[in-house]
Amino acid sequence: MVTYSRKVVANESFWTWANLVTLLRTLVCLIIFSIAATTHNENANYLGLGVYLILDNLDGYLARALNQETLLGAQFDILSDRILTTFFYFNFLEQYNELALAVVLFLVQFMVLDHLLSNQFLRWPIISPNYFYEVDRVIWALNWSAPGKMSNTGLFTMLILLTRSTWVVFPVLLSLIGIKVYSLIRLYQIPGPPQVGSLYKPGN
């Protein structure tokens, strides 16, 4: 029988330092991105991206360091990533609309394929996708290991900001889509544990 190291607990609190940083990240970056959109200020858009990346790393660090990883926190983090990334790229396209095809395809895979994949940890009694190696090490390595996370979003963003070229980022984009499709196919061949439903009964 498989055992899991970080199980879901009942009645977990939203009010943790990690979740508060995620909330702060979301609100502050939305304000900065809104200012960038209304003033057409490219530098403000990059400032929002920088604040987002710093606080995204900070909330993850706090969650692990303070033993504050929660199911709600993981879902909130995943949702915040999608909202803020979309706002950044909408502003970015105002300045570089010739890159619309690459950016839109990236957002589709990030908002649909990657979002669907990232929430599949809920089928198992683990606290976040960071522990998906306990379910399937290949899917975890491709998506949530340190290199996997970097290649999922960081590589595309770095290349498109540095090169401003659709042709440079397109091979990376196609690889990302391929990884997500392969991961989803592989994932749905893995049965969820039969005891997963019992995790949500009050009083467990």
- 104-163 confidence digits (pLDDT tens): 999 999 999 999 999 999 989 899 999 999 999 999 999 999 999 988 889 999 999 999
The reply to whether 41 and 82 lie within a common domain is yes
Q: Determine, yes or no, domain membership for 17.
A: yes
Q: What is the pLDDT of residue 14?
A: 81
Q: Determine, yes or no, domain membership for 76.
A: yes
The reply to whether 89 and 102 lie within a common domain is no
The reply to whether 121 and 185 lie within a common domain is yes
Q: Determine, yes or no, domain membership for 3.
A: no
Q: What is the pLDDT of residue 196?
A: 45
Specify the amino acid at residue 201.
K
The reply to whether 80 and 124 lie within a common domain is no
Q: Given pLDDT bands bounded at 50, 70 and 90, which one contains residue 13?
A: confident
Show which of 95, 123, 153 is a domain's final residue. Answer: 95
pLDDT > 80? residue 6: no
The reply to whether 84 and 48 lie within a common domain is yes
Q: What is the pLDDT of residue 3?
A: 53
pLDDT > 70? residue 197: no
- Nearest CA to 129 among 71, 191, 197, 66? 71
Q: How far, in Å, CA of 99 to CA of 117, rounded?
A: 26
The reply to whether 182 and 113 lie within a common domain is yes
Q: Given pLDDT bands bounded at 50, 70 and 90, which one contains residue 199?
A: very low
Show which of 95, 116, 135 is a domain's final residue. Answer: 95
Domain that holds residue 159: 98-198
* CA distances to 12, 151, 173, 174, 187 from 179, in Å: 33, 10, 10, 9, 12
Tell me which of 38-47, 132-141, 185-194 is least confident: 185-194
Q: Determine, yes or no, domain membership for 5.
A: no
The reply to whether 125 and 47 lie within a common domain is no
The reply to whether 106 and 182 lie within a common domain is yes
- Nearest CA to 9 among 92, 53, 69, 77? 69
The reply to whether 191 and 126 lie within a common domain is yes
Region 38-61: mean pLDDT is 96
Show which of 62, 95, 128 is a domain's final residue. Answer: 95
Cα pseudo-dihedral 24, 114, 72, 58, rounded to 10? -40
Q: What is the pLDDT of residue 1?
A: 43
Q: What is the pLDDT of residue 5?
A: 54
* CA distances to 31, 40, 101, 173, 202 from 182, in Å: 37, 39, 23, 14, 36
Q: What is the pLDDT of residue 125?
A: 87
The reply to whether 75 and 153 lie within a common domain is no
Q: What is the pLDDT of residue 191?
A: 83
Q: Determine, yes or no, domain membership for 4.
A: no
Residues in the chain: 204
